[in-house]
Amino acid sequence: NAGVMQNPRHLVRRRGQEARLRCSPMKGHSHVYWYRQLPEEGLKFMVYLQKENIIDESGMPKERFSAEFPKEGPSILRIQQVVRGDSAAYFCASSREGTGINSPLHFGNGTRLTVT
Amino acid sequence: QKEVEQNSGPLSVPEGAIASLNCTYSDRGSQSFFWYRQYSGKSPELIMFIYSNGDKEDGRFTAQLNKASQYVSLLIRDSQPSDSATYLCAGPNAGKSTFGDGTTLTVKP
C-alpha cells in the first residue's frame, strides 16, 4: 500500500499518560501535515513539517503537544499528559510539495485517540 | 473571520435532485480550492479542485469559483444515497490547507 500510513488506528490512554501517533507519508511525498477533528466538527490544522523541519506549527497547542519528522522514519505527533479534551481523531496528510493544485493532500486513515 | 467558511447547516435532498454546497473565503490572493468528501468515521478524500474562475465539471460533480465574490461551490447532479457524506471545502494557505467546518449532505431514497 503506497498510501499515507498511520498507526495505531485506535489508541486508548488514561489521563496523564503520553500518546504517540505515527505517520508515514505517501511514497515520493516530503511534506507532512497533522490535523485534529473533534466529533461533529471540521478539520483543524495543527502542524506542517518537512524532513527535519517544522514549517508551520501555528495550530499546535502551546503545551503538551509536539511533532517531528526526522530524516529517517515516520512523523510523530506526541501528546504528553493527555486530558479528556484530547480525545479526537488525528489525521495525517502528505503532499509532494506545499499544498497547491499540483500537490493536493492525501490523507491517512487517522488515529482515534480516546482518553479515559 | 475564518479563512474558509461553510455556513450552511445540514443539507437533505431527495435522490436524483441537485445538491448545492457553498463556501466563502477571506483571502483575495487565494488561487485554488479543493473539495473533499468524508464519510462518517473515515478520512477525507479529494474529489475536485478548481483554480480558474467559472465552472469545472467531472462526471456528476461541478465546482464553481467566483473570485470577485470570493465564493466556491460544489454541485452534485443526480444525487445518490451513496453521496451522503460531509463535504469539506479547503484553500491553500502558505503551503498548508485550511478547511471549512464542512456541510453534511443526506440524500434520501
Question: Collapsing DSSP states into helix, strand and coil, what is residue A64?
Answer: coil
Q: Which of B43, B46, B99 sits opposite A42 (nearest CB)?
A: B99
For residue A14, the number of C-alpha atoms closer than 13 Å in the C-beta half-sphere is 0
The reply to whether omega before B14 is within 30° of 0 (cis) is no
Give the integer Cα–Cα distance in Å for B59 and A19.
Answer: 42
Band (pLDDT 50/70/90 cuts) for residue A45 is very high
pLDDT digits over B33-86, tens only? 999 999 999 999 999 989 888 899 999 999 999 988 889 999 999 999 999 999
The three three-digit cell numbers of residue A73, written as one number: 522514519
Residue of A nearest to B102 (CA): A42
Number of cross-chain residue pairs from A and B with Cβ atoms under 8 Å apart = 60
Buried b (16+ CB within 10 A) or exposed e, B62-73: bbbbeeeeeebb
| Cβ–Cβ gap A100/B92 under 8 Å | yes
pLDDT digits over B7-38, tens only? 778 999 999 999 999 999 888 777 789 999 99
The three three-digit cell numbers of residue A55, written as one number: 514549517
Q: Which of B32, B45, B88 sits opposite A100 (nearest CB)?
A: B32
